[in-house]
Amino acid sequence: MTSVQGTSVDIPTEDGVADAYLAHPGDGLAHPGVLLYQDAFGLRPHLRAMADRLAGAGYTVLVPNVFYRHGRSPVFELPEFIDTHSRPDLWDSIGPVMQSLTPELAMRDAGAYLEWLAASPLAADGPVALTGYCMGARLSLLTAGTYPDRVAAAAGFHGGRLATDAPDSPHLVAEHITAELYFGHADEDPSLPPEQIQLLEDTFTKAGVRHVCEVYPSAHHGFTQADTAAYHREGDERHWAALLDLLKRTF
């Protein structure tokens, strides 16, 4: 592990300014870029720690506040340990904000995030990698299909509603994807039932997308997030191994 520097940055978008966290090795050199997409709880210390860990492995990592239209992070007042079973009221504020981030808006923003990384002297030239969590897994998949020439690899973990019958379902971008994909699903996740998992797998295969989709046993939606009640240590460790392996193959 190398020394890591982390800082807050602002990213101009078509609709305003997105605050973000940037983590990178402390050597001042350019390293492969990684765009990390948040879960519904937003940009917070745990996600910064995840970015720091990736930076320590040799990457320049950008974590945007995708909810920036609703304010700078933290957008929500969250407890240090997030348990939505004991605090179901959290969804009263988070839910509407999530719904307001349409695929169209999210992909417009994705272009700004990718442009910012491309212009950063701390990010190496060429395509970047993506990783996303919960709702961020959907954003990762959509970004890989919307900006195929900018994305070399994309990962998603405990994503929900990845392959639905909606006209804007994320899996429908598969035909445009050129990146290698890795998706780690939670086996106890009602937001991604077995039939969606199968449809996603079939769609990737039919489109000729290089991919691995795996179901993590005894894992719930959110299993990588150590500051939540959904955390599953074994699944999280497996996620890190899979993600770092994907990045090594890519860069």
Could you tell me where the beta strands, DSSP code E, fall in the chain? 4-13, 16-25, 33-37, 60-64, 128-133, 151-157, 180-188, 211-220
Mean pLDDT score, 153-157:
98
What confidence category does residue 86 fall into, taking pLDDT thresholds of 50, 70 and 90? confident
Mean pLDDT score, 138-166:
98
Least Cα distance to 50 among 188, 183, 227 occurs for: 227
- Structural domain boundaries, residue 178: 7-250
Q: Kind and range of the H or E element at 108?
A: helix 103-119
Q: Write out pLDDT tens, residues 214-237.
A: 999 999 999 999 999 999 999 999
* Position 209 in a domain: yes
* Position 238 in a domain: yes
Q: Give the CA angle between residues 5, 137, 99 to the nearest 5°.
A: 105
pLDDT at res. 85: 86
* Position 156 in a domain: yes
pTM equals 0.98
* Position 48 in a domain: yes
Mean pLDDT score, 149-178:
97
* Position 2 in a domain: no
Q: Is the pLDDT of residue 137 over 80?
A: yes
Q: How many domains are there within the chain?
A: 1
Inter-residue contact 138 to 156 (CB < 8 Å)? yes
The upper half-sphere exposure of residue 156, i.e. CA atoms within 13 Å in the direction of its Cβ, equals: 29
Q: Is the pLDDT of residue 173 over 90?
A: yes
pLDDT at res. 1: 59
User: What is the CATH classification number for the domain harbouring 44?
Assistant: 3.40.50.1820
Mean pLDDT score, 230-248:
98
* Position 42 in a domain: yes
Q: Write out pLDDT tens, residues 9-22.
A: 999 999 999 999 99
The rounded distance, in Å, linking the Cα atoms of 160 and 165 is 13
Q: Residues of the chain with pLDDT > 70: what percent?
A: 100
* Position 1 in a domain: no
The rounded distance, in Å, linking the Cα atoms of 204 and 212 is 9
Q: Write out pLDDT tens, residues 33-80.
A: 999 999 999 999 999 999 999 999 999 999 999 999 999 999 999 999
